[in-house]
Structure 1
Amino acid sequence: MTPYQTQYSAWQLSRRIGPDDADLLAATLVDAQIDLNPHQVDAALFAFQSPLSKGVILADEVGLGKTIEAGLVIAQRWAERKRRILVIVPANLRKQWHQELQEKFSLQALILEAGSYKQLKKDGLRSPFEPASRIVICSYQFAKSRADDLKRVPWDLVVMDEAHRLRNVYKTSNVIGKALKEALAHAPKVLLTATPLQNSLLELYGLVSLVDERVFGDLPSFRDQFGGLGNADTFAKLRARLQSVCKRTLRRQVQPYISYTRRIPMVEQFTPSPDEQVLRGLVADYLRRPVLNALQSGQRQLISLVLWKLLASSSYAIGGALGTMAKRLERQLAAQPEAELVDTLDQDYEALAETEEEWSEADTDPSAEQLASTAEESVELREYQRLATTIRDNAKGQALLKALGKAFAELQRLQANKKALIFTESRRTQDYLLSLLEQSPYAGQIVLFNGTNTGAQAQRIHADWLKRHAGTDRITGSRTADTRAALVEHFRDSAQIMIATEAGAEGINLQFCSLVINYDLPWNPQRIEQRIGRCHRYGQQHDVVVVNFIDLSNPADQRVYELLAQKFQLFEGVFGASDEVLGTIGSGVDFERRIAEIYQTCRNPQEIEGSFQQLQLDLSGEINAAMLKTRQLLLENFDEAVQDKLKLRQNESTSARNRYERLLMDLTRAELQGHAEFDDAGFTLTQTPHGLSPQDAPPGRYELPRRSGEAHLYRTGHPLAQALIEQARGRKLPAAKLRFNYDGYRLKVSTLQTLRGQSGWLALSVMTIEAMDTAEDYLLLAGVTADGSPLHDEDAEKLLRLPAQVQKSDSPTRPPDSLDRETLRLEALHTTAVNSRNLGYFDTEVQKLDAWADDLKNGLENEVKEIDREIKDVRRSASVAATLDEKLHWQKRQRELEESRNRLRRRIFDRQDEIDGQRSQLIIELEARLSRNASLKDIFIIQWELD
C-alpha cells in the first residue's frame, strides 16, 4: 500500500460515524473479545437509533447477555470520547461488571463505594464520580446516597442493571427510584431488565418515565388513557409508544445462534452428628432470645441472618463467629474500644458488606437490663465456641466426599472435564474443606478463591503466572485482577477442584468446568443464579451438574431447598431461574430477610411448614398471569420477523467486522515496514516504532483476534493501532501519480476490469457535519477517467484496494473540472441524506411531544368530565329527595361542584397554554440541536493508471 492508500484506510477506521450508518459499531465489534450474537448487536444499535433519544430499555429474557449489549453501547460511546459513563448495579454485581468491561471490551472501570469515595476525596479529587479515563460502577444504594453529586455531573451515558428495582418509581414510597430519577434526569440512559412489567401497567409507566418523561403524560392521564386495555385501538396506541423506547428478545428467537446446555440437579442428604445437633440447638435458642448484648445498634436482624447461615455452614464457621462475638463483649466489659461487629464478621462471611448495603433496620438502644447480663452472655458464647471447636468432623463434609464421587462419575458420562467448583459462604469453612480434601484422593488438586486471595498458595500461583506471561498484555498491573486471572488459569490447567467463597461468583468465567457444588446454599436466588452462571453460560459445551446438600434433621433447610428448586427452578432445565419469579423478589436481600424471620420465629416443624407455605403463596400472588400476557402482547414481536432481522444483523455485523479487521491489518502492515514481520495470523513486532513507548507497544507477537495464548491482543483501540492510524492520517501528501496493479490483487474485481489500461484522477475530501451535540465525518472519494467521465462511487473505493506504486511525474497536469463537480455531487448527496435523516428524527420527536401534550390536556378534560358525572348524580339525588332538608343539601352540593368545575375550566385554559408553551420551547431546543455546521477538508489528489 502507498501512503495515499494507508491514509484513506486510516480515515475509514477513525472517522466519526452517524447513528444510521451500518458501520457504526464496526470498530467496537473488532475490539470486543466475544463471539457476538446478532440479537446483541441489534439491541446496541436500537440504543443508538436516534441521537435525540433520551435512552432505551433493553428487556431481553434472562440469559441473553444484556450486559454485553450495554457493553457495546458503553464501548461505542467511549470510542466517541464521550467518557462520563456511570453504571449502577445491585451491589453483588459490581465486580462482575468491572471484570466484563475489562476482559471483553478492554475498558477500565472504578468501583465507587464509601471507602474508595472517601479515599479519592482525601487524595484531592474534587469529584470522585469523574475519575480520569475510567468508567464508574456503583450500587443503587450508594448512588442514592450521593444523588447530589450525580446531579452535578454532565453524564454522557448512565446504565442501570436490574432496573426493575425502580419500576415503582411512580410511588412516593420508592425513595431510591425518586432520588435517582431526579439526580439523573439530564442523562441519556440504558435500562436493563428482563421483567419491565410484572403486576401493573404503572410499572411500565415508571420505567419509561425514568428514561424519558415525555413518552407519556402525567400519571393520572396515563391511568385514564391506558388503565384498561380492553380496547384494541388503545392497546395498539400503547404498543406503538413503547416500541421506540423498549426492546425485548426471547430465548426461543435466538436458538439458531446460541446452543444452550442443560442443568442436571443432584442432591446429597446427610444427618449431622449428635454433637452438631446439640450445638445447633443451643445457638438457635440463643439467637431467638428477645434481648442480646452481642447484637445491637440496629443490626440484629442482619447479624442474625449471617449467624443462621454460618451455623448451617460448618462448626468451624459458627465457632469462629461465636469467638468474635465473645471477644467483642469482653472488650466492652473492659471498657476497651471495639470494632463494629458487622466489620469483624465480614472476615467470616464475605457477602456481609454487600448484604448490609441493601439492608435497612431500625436502631435500638441498649437498656440497663442488657448491660447487666453482658458478662453472662460472653461466658455462654465462649462455651458454645468450645463445643464447636471439639467437633472436628462435620457430617456435611463427609457427604461432600460422597457427592464428589457421584458427580465426577456423571461428568465422565457427559464426557466433560473432571473439574468441580465448590461454593461456601464462609472463609473458615473454605479452610476446613481444603484440609478435608487434602486428606482425600484429591490431595494436591485444590485451589482456593476468595475475596482477598492473599494466601501463600495464591501468591505462589500469581508469581508463576507473572513469569509465564511476562511481556504480554495478559498482565494488567492490578494485583487483584491479575491474581484472579492466575487462579482461574491454574484451575483450568492444573487443579481439579476450586473452593470459592462468594467472591468466586462475581466476574469470572469458568466455561471449562461443568460441576457446581453449593456446599452452603444461599437464600438469595439471585446469588445462586450468579454462582451457577460462572459455569452454565454462553460457551459451555456440556450439561452442568449442580449439587446441593439437604440436612435431614432440619425441616427449615429442607423447605428452603424445595422453594428454591421448585418455585425458582434454579437447578434444572436449560435456563435456570425464570424471569417472572426473579422479577417478583426485586432485591434478593428482602427475600433472605423473610427466610431469616422464619428461622428466627419458628420452633417446630408445623410452624416452619405454615410459614413457608405462606411465603410461597405470597410469591404466587405477586406473579400476575394477566400481566404476563399483557407484557407478551405489548413488548414481544413475531418470532419469524425477529429471526429474519437477526439473520440480517448477523450478516451486516460479520461483514463490517471483517472489513475493519482487514483495513486495520493492511494499514498496520504498510506502516510497520522494517519494524515487524507479518504472516496470515498476525505479526511480530521486532522494535517499537518511534514516538511510542515500550509500555504502549512492546515488541512481541500480535494477533487479531488473539489465537495463541501469549500474543498481544491487537485491535483498533490498541495504543499501537491508534498511533499508526494517527500517523497515516496526519501525513501531508502532495499530488502524485499512482499505478495500480490489477493482477497483484488477491480477488477478482469484475467492475474494474473495464478500466484496465485507462487513467484518471481521484480526490479524497472529508466533510464534517456538526449537529445534535455530535460530529460526523463523511469520506468523499471522487473519481474520474482521463476524459472526465465519473467513476462509480464503489469503483473509486475498490481502486484504492489494489496494490500500487507511486510514479515519478515530470510535469504535473491539472485535474479536470469534472473532478471538482464529482466532489460537489458527493457533498450534496451526503448533505441531503443527513438533512432527510435529521428531519425524520425531528418529526419523531415532535410526534412524541404532541402525544405528550395531548395526554396532559386529555387528563385535564377528564377531570371536568368526572365532575360533570358527579353533578348528574347529585341532580338525580336531589330530584328524589323526600324532605326539604335533603333537597337543600343536594342543591348546595350541586352549586359547590359547579363552582369547582368552572374554576377547573378556567384553569384548563391556563394549563393548556402552559403545555403549548412548553411544547414550543422544546421544539425550539430541538431545532437548535438539529442546526448543522458543515466543513470540507481536502486530503489528497492523485492521478491514477490501472494496468
Structure 2
Amino acid sequence: MPCKEQYTKHQAQYFAWQLTRRLDSENEDKLTGAIMDAQIDLNPHQVDAALFAFRNPLSNGVILADEVGLGKTIEAGLVIAQKWAERRRRILIIVPANLRKQWHQELQEKFGVEATILDGDSYKKAKKDGRKNPFDMQEGVVICSYQFAKAKADDIQMIPQWDLAVIDEAHRLRNVYKKGNKIAKAIAEAIGNTYKVMLTATPLQNSLLELYGMVSIIDEKIFGDLDSFRIKYGRINDATSFSELRQRIKPVCKRTLRKDVEAYVKYTKRIAMVEEFTPSANEQLLYKRVSNYLRRPNLNALPDGQRQLISMVMWKLLASSSFAIAGALDTIRKRLLEGLTDQSLTKAFEAEYEAFVETREEWDDDDQYSTPLADRQSVLDEIEELGAYIKLAESISDNAKGEKLLDALKIAFQKLSEIGAKEKAIIFTESRKTQDYLLRTLKKSQYKDGIVLFNGTNNDAQAKEIYKAWITKHAESDKITGSKTSDTRAALVEYFCDQGKIMIATEAAAEGVNLQFCSLVINYDLPWNPQRIEQRIGRCHRYGQKHDVVVLNFIDSTNEADKRVHELLRLKFNIFDGVFGASDEVLGAIENGVDFERRIKNIYDNYREAHDIQREFDKLQEDLAHEINLQMVNTREKLFEHFDEDVLQNIKVDTNRSLDKYERMLLALTRSELDGHIGDIEGGFVVNTLPPQAPKDIPTGEYELPRRKGDCHLYRLKHPLAQWAIEKAKSHQLEQSHLVFCANAKDTKVSVVQELRGQSGQLKATKLTVESMKRAEDYIVLTGFNDAAKSEAMSQEVLEKLMAFPISNIHSASFVESPHLQDQLSRRKTEILGEITNRNLQYFEAEVEKLEAWSDDLKVVLEQDIKETDREIREVRRTAKVAPDLNEKLHWQKRLKDLERLRNKKRRDLFDKQDEVDDRREELITVLEEKMNQKIEEHHLFTITWEVI
C-alpha cells in the first residue's frame, strides 16, 4: 500500500536551499528558477541563448542576433528574471519608443517582473515627488526610449552600477564609431562598462565597420581602435582573416536561424488581401483642398517647432476619415481663434491620434521650420478658410472606405472559413473619431453583434461593463493586477476572445496585446512606418497562432501616393504575406521606421502630380535597394551563422525534466511549512488559513503553478508566499533525527531508491559557497553511507533522489556522526574547488587571448605607418639616383634624411606604444588574477540517520 506523501522540515530546508542556490553558467539548471516563474512555454534555443549570456563571468555582454520571430525578447526576459532572482536588480532597458509598453507588459505577464516606464511626464513627476535621479530605483527595472536615454544620459551615467542593460533593436547603435552619431555615442558612454544584452536581427547591414561599432559597445578590448580594424578587416579577401574575425566575435554573439528550429517551432503564413475604394466627389474635394493647405510654406495655425509632426498627423487623419480630419481642423482653428496654447494643441492631438506621443518623441529636435510673423488679416483669412474645410467635412455623412469595409469583411470572413479559423477580426485605425464612425457603421450592419472597442482610454460604457464582469469572474485569481488600465485591457482582450467577433482598435492595441486567437488583421488606416505595421500584424501572427493570418488593406483608387506606399510596403518590405513578414534585411536597412516615414511625408508635402509622385517613389525605392547591401548580407551569414553546425543537438537543457524536479520541491516545501493550513487540488493547493507568522497580506484561496489553467493565484518563486515559506524553511535549527523513507510513495519507479529498501545509514547536508570571478556559487553537498558499507561513499545523485522521496515516519535520534562523512565532504570540497579553478582558468585564458589580440591590433596602425614611410624612402632613393643635377640630388637627399628621421621617430613611438600596450595588458591580467582568488564558506545544515522501507 502506498505511503501518504509527507515531508519533514529537514527536506523542506534542503529544498529551500536547492531552489535558491546560485549556480555557475555551465550548469544546466542555472535558469530553472527563471523558467519556473515564466508564464510561457520556452523553446530550447531561447534557454540556450539566455545561458550563453551568462557564460563568461569576465564578459561585458553579448549580442543575441536570432532571426526575426524567434523570440529575442523572451531570451532577454529570461536573463532579466535570473538577474532579479540573484537580487541584482538595477536594470535598464532601452527600446524604440513604440515598444516600451510591449516590454513592460511582457515582463509583467510572462516573467512576473514589474518595470517602470520613464518618459517626459513620469520623469517630471518623479522629480516633483523629490527623487533626485528618477533612474535611481535602487531595485527596479527602468524602461525608456533611445531618445530619452540620449537626453538623460547624464542621469543614467550617475547610477553607481547598473546590473544589466538590455538594448532592443540594437542595430540602431551600430554606427557609434561615426562622429555625427550623437544618440549612439551618448548611450554607449552612459552605460559604459555595464553588462549589456544587445538584441538585433541585423548586427551587420552595410559595412564591417558596423560590426566594430556594435562589438565596441559591448567591450572595447575585443578589437583595437577603428584604424586597426579597418586595416585588418575592412576588406576581407582571404579565408584566414575571415576565420580569425569569426573566432573573435564568437564569444560575444549568438545567432539562431529559422531553419535551425523548424523541428519544434511551427509558424503559419500571412495571406494578403486588398480592398480598393473610390471616394465620393465631396471626399475628393475635401482631400484636394486640405492637401493644398498642408503644402503651403506658411501656416499660422501650426506651431513653430512642431509643424512637421502635426502636419504629418493631419495627412494621416485626412486619409483616415472625414470625421477625423474635421476634428483636427477644428483644433488648429481654435488655436487661431481662441489662442489655444501649444500644450493644449498637443493634448488635443494626443487624444485623437494615439501614436502621437511616441511619434513626437522620435521626431523631436528634427523640426527647424519657423513661421514668419503673420499680419492679422492673414490669420483671419486662415480662420475663415479652415471653417470652410470643416463645414465641407461635416457635410459628409458616410465615407466610401467605411462602406467598402462591409464588403471586405464578407470576403475576408469567407477566407477565414476556408482555412478553418474563427470569424474574428481586428480593425486598426489611427484615429479615435474614425473608430467611433466605424462603430456606428458596423452597428447598422449584419456585424452589429460582438463588437468591442480598444483604445488608449478604454472608458466607454461597454468597456466599463466588460471590466466590471471580468473583475467579478477573476476575483480569486492573480489575473487582477490592481492597475485599472492593465486590467481593462486584459478584460477587453478576453471578451474579444470568448464572445467578440470584431475589435475596432487604435494604435493602443498594437502594443503588448496577444491576439493569437484572431486570424484577420484589417489595416483600415495604413501607417507609413513599416515597423508599426509589423507590430500590428504581430499581435495575431505570432508563436502559438494555429491558422494562417489574413491581412487586408484599403487603397484609395484615386490617390497615386497611397497606391505607391502600399506597393512599396508589399513588394519591397514583404510585410503582408509570407511566413515571417518584413525581412531582416529591409527592416535593418531602414534602421528606424521614422526615417522612412519622414521621406514619404516629404513626397506628400511637395508633389501633387501623378508623374512627380511616381518619380519620387521610384527614387525612394531605388535608394532603399542601395541601402540593402547584399554583399554584406552574405558576409553576415558567413560570419554569424553556424558557429556550431549541430546547434540543436548540442542544446542539452531538458527544460521539462528540470521544471518537474524543482516544481515538486517548491510544492513539497510549501506543504511542509503550511501543514494544517492547506489542502490539495490538481496541479496546486488551496490555502485555507495562514500560519500566525505569515505576512497578513498573502491571499488565501487556490494556487497553481505557471502555465496551468490560469484561474487561480499564480504560484511562482517570486510569490510572497513562496518567499516566506523558503525563508522559514532555511531558518529551522534542525536536531538529529531518524527519517524513514517510503520507497513506494511515488507513482514513478526510481530504481536507485528501490534498491535501498531494507537498508539504513547516515546522511549529512552541507552548504558550500565559493566566491570567485566576482560571483558566488552555492553547492548543497550531500554525503552519506550505507550501514552495510560505511567506508563506501554514496553518490550525490543517489542521496538527492533519496531526499526527494516522501517519508512514512520521523523521530528524534541521538548518534555519533561518522568521521566518514567529514572525509567525504573534504574530498567533495577539493573536487568542487578543482572544477571551479579549471573553469576559471579557461575564462582567464580566453581573456588573455582576447587582450593579446587587442594589443596586436593597436600595434598594427603604427607598423603600417612605418611600412608606408619605408616605401616612401625607397621611392626617394630611386629618384635621387636618377636626379639630373647636383641641386636636384641635394633636394632629394635632404628629403631622404627627413623621412629617415621620421621613420626612426615612428619606430621609437612603436616601441613606446608596445611598452604602453604591454603594460596595460599586464595590468588587466593582474586584475584578472585577483578576480580568480577563491573564498569558500561552509555551513552545516543537518545530519540524519535514515532507512528505506
Q: For this structure pair, what is the TM-score category when the shorter chain's length is used for normalisation?
A: over 0.9
Q: Structure 1 residues 370, 216: closer, same or farther in 2, change over 3 A?
A: farther
Q: Match for 1:367: what amino acid?
A: P
* 1:248 equivalenced with 2:255 (yes/no): yes
Are residues 1:552 and 2:553 paired? no
- CA shift at 1:643, angstroms? 2.6
Corresponding position of 2:922: 920
Deviations 1:201-243 (A, max 9, x none): 0001100001011110000111111122111111110000011
Give, in whole Å, the separation in 2 of the partners of 1:848 and 1:487.
53
How many aligned residue pairs are there?
A: 939
Alpha-carbon spacing, 1:436–1:753, altered in 2? closer, same or farther (3 Å): closer
Please give the secondary structure, in 2, of the residue aligned with 1:368.
Answer: coil
Q: Confirm whether residue 350 of structure 1 aligns to residue 350 of structure 2.
A: no
Aligned counterpart, 1:73? 79
| Normalised TM-score (structure 2) | 0.96
Distance 2:146 2:898 in 1: 47
Matches within 5 A, 1:729-808: 729-786=730-787, 787-789=789-791, 790-808=793-811
CA contact (8 A) 1:292 1:370 kept: no
CA distance in 2, matches of 1:140, 1:116: 16
Partners of 2:861 and 2:691 lie apart in 1 by: 67
Three-state SS of the structure 2 residue aligned to 1:769 is: strand
Give secondary structure in 2 for the equivalent of 1:644: coil
| 1:536-575 superposed matches below 5 A | 536-575=541-580
TM-score (structure 1 length as normaliser): 0.97
Note the C-alpha offset of 1:644.
Answer: 1.5
Contact 2:540 2:549 in 1 (8 A): yes
Question: Aligned residues: percent identity?
Answer: 56
Partner in structure 2 of residue 286 of structure 1: 293
Give the root-mean-square deviation of aligned CA atoms.
Answer: 1.8
- 2:88 matches 1:82: yes
- Aligned partners of 1:679, 1:868: CA distance in 2, in Å? 84
**Aligned position for 2:625:** 620
Alpha-carbon distance, 1:881 to partner: 5.5
Instruction: Tell me, yes or no, if structure 1 residue 61 matches structure 2 residue 62.
Output: no
Give, as a single letter, the amino acid of the residue that structure 2 aligns with 1:835.
Answer: T
1:525 aligns to 2:530 (yes or no): yes
Q: 1:937 to 1:277 in 2, by over 3 A?
A: same
Q: Give yes or no for the alignment of 1:601 onto 2:603.
A: no
Structure 1 residue 758 displacement after superposition = 2.5
- Over 3 Å counting, the alpha-carbon distance change for 1:907 and 1:307 in structure 2 is same
Rate the CA distance shift 1:410–1:46 in 2: closer, same or farther, 3 A. Answer: same
Q: Relative to 1, partners in 2 of residues 1:896 and 1:104: Cα closer, same or farther, differing over 3 Å?
A: same
- CA offsets, 1:398-421, max 9 Å, x none? 111110111111111111111110
Structure 1, 783-792 or 284-293: larger mean CA deviation:
783-792
- Counterpart Cα distance in 2 of 1:509 and 1:311: 30
Find the residue that maps to 2:756 and give its secondary structure: coil
2:901 aligns to what?
899
Letter in 1 for 2:759: Q
8 Å Cα contact 2:308/2:367 also seen in 1? no
- Quick check: 1:164–1:195 contact (8 Å CA) kept in 2? yes
Q: Is the 8 A contact 1:102 1:108 kept in 2?
A: yes
User: For residues 1-53 of structure 1, what are the alpha-carbon distances to aligned partners after superposition, in whole Å with 9 as ceiling and x for unaligned?
Assistant: 12111211111111122222111001111111111011100110110111111
Distance in 2 (CA, whole Å) between partners of 1:123 and 1:369 is 41
**Partners of 1:52 and 1:588 in 2: how far apart?**
36
Distance change >3 Å, CA 302–CA 745, structure 1 → 2: closer
Conserved? CA contact 2:250–2:643, under 8 Å: no
CA distance in 1, matches of 2:35, 2:628: 38
Amino acid at match of 2:738: K
1:220 corresponding residue in structure 2: 227
Answer with 285-294 or 58-67: which moved more: 285-294
Distance 1:819 1:369, change over 3 A: closer
User: Post-superposition shift, 1:694?
Assistant: 4.9
1:599–1:880 Cα change, 3 Å: farther
CA shift for structure 1 position 294? 1.7
Structure 1 residue 132: Cα displacement? 5.3
Q: CA deviation at 1:691?
A: 2.8
CA distance in 2, matches of 1:854, 1:938: 50
* Mapping of residues 795-944 of structure 1, within 5 Å: 795-808=798-811, 812-879=814-881, 890-944=892-946
Structure 2: 5+ residue stretches without partners: 1-6
Contact 2:743 2:948 in 1 (8 A): yes
Letter of the 1:829 counterpart: E
The alignment partner of 2:209 has SS state of helix
* Aligned residue in 2 for 1:678: 680
Separation in 2 of the partners of 1:896 and 1:441? 92
Q: Is the 8 A contact 1:214 1:848 kept in 2?
A: yes
State the Cα distance separating 1:292 from its structure 2 match: 1.2
CA distance in 1, matches of 2:71, 2:459: 32
Deviation at 1:296, TM superposition (A): 3.7
The answer to whether the 8 Å contact 2:308/2:369 transfers is no
Residues 759, 947 of structure 2: 8 Å contact kept: yes
Contact in 1 for aligned 2:298/2:371 (Cα 8 Å) = no
Q: Which of residues 193, 207, 210 in structure 2 aligns to 1:186?
A: 193
For 2:437 and 2:890, the matched residues in 1 are separated by 85
* Letter of the structure 2 residue corresponding to residue 782 of structure 1: T
Kindly report which structure 2 residues correspond to 1:339-738, keeping only aligned pairs within 5 A, or say none.
339=343, 341-359=345-363, 360-369=365-374, 373-637=378-642, 641-646=646-651, 648-649=652-653, 652-696=654-698, 698-738=699-739
Give CA deviations for 1:609-655 in whole Å, capped at 9, x if unaligned. 11011101101111111111111111000785123124x33xx2221
What does the per-residue CA deviation read over 1:153-212, in whole Å, with 9 as the maximum and x for residues that have no partner? 110000000000010000001101111111111200000000000110000110000101
Q: Is the 8 A contact 1:59 1:247 kept in 2?
A: yes
Greater shift after overlay, 482-491 or 895-904?
895-904
The one-letter amino acid of 2:34's match is T
Alpha-carbon deviation of 1:706? Answer: 4.7
* Distance in 1 separating the partners of 2:464 and 2:870: 79
Q: Is the contact between residue 326 and residue 378 of structure 1 (CA under 8 Å) also seen in structure 2?
A: yes
Tell me, yes or no, if the aligned pair for 1:736 and 1:943 is still in contact at 8 Å.
yes
Output the CA distance in 2 between the equivalents of 1:593 and 1:886. 61
3-state secondary structure, aligned to 2:647? helix
Q: Do 1:473 and 1:713's aligned partners in 2 also have CA atoms closer than 8 Å?
A: yes
Secondary structure of 1:196's counterpart equals: coil
The structure-2 alpha-carbon separation of the partners of 1:873 and 1:484, relative to structure 1 and needing over 3 Å to count, comes to farther
Shift of 1:887: 5.7
Q: Distance in 2 between matches of 1:89 and 1:66?
A: 13
Q: 1:805 offset after TM fit, Å?
A: 4.5
State whether residues 300 and 374 of structure 2, in contact with CA within 8 Å, keep that contact through their aligned partners in structure 1.
no
Aligned partner of residue 934 in structure 1, secondary structure: strand
CA contact (8 A) 2:763 2:944 kept: yes
Q: Which shifted more, 472-481 or 156-165?
A: 472-481
Offset at 1:323? 0.6
Q: What do residues 681-734 of structure 1 show as CA deviations (whole Å, max 9, x unaligned)?
A: 2212111233334533x1211112353342111122211111111111110001
Structure 2 vs 1, CA of residues 929 and 407 (structure 1 numbering), >3 Å: closer, same or farther?
same
CA distance in 2, matches of 1:679, 1:328: 63
What amino acid sits opposite 1:192 in the alignment? L
Cα distance in structure 1, aligned partners of 2:640 and 2:49: 14
What secondary structure is seen at the aligned counterpart in 1 of 2:352?
Answer: coil
Residues 489-541 of structure 1, C-alpha deviation per residue, up to 9 Å, x if partnerless? 11111221111111110000001101000000000000000000000000000
Q: Structure 1: 5+ residue runs without aligned partners?
A: none
In 2: Cα distance, 1:877 partner to 1:346 partner: 73
Partner of 1:147 in structure 2?
153
Contact 1:701–1:711 (Cα < 8 Å) also in 2: yes
Equivalent position SS for 1:339: helix
Q: CA deviation at 1:95?
A: 0.4
The separation in 2 between residues aligned to 1:304 and 1:136, in whole angstroms, is 32
Deviations 1:755-787 (A, max 9, x none): 332221100010111222222111110001225
Which moved further from structure 2: 27-36 or 858-867? 858-867
Letter in 1 for 2:802: L
Query: CA contact under 8 A between 1:89 and 1:138: conserved in structure 2?
Result: yes
Distance 1:922 1:822, change over 3 A: same
- Equivalents in 1 of 2:350, 2:755: separation in Å? 76
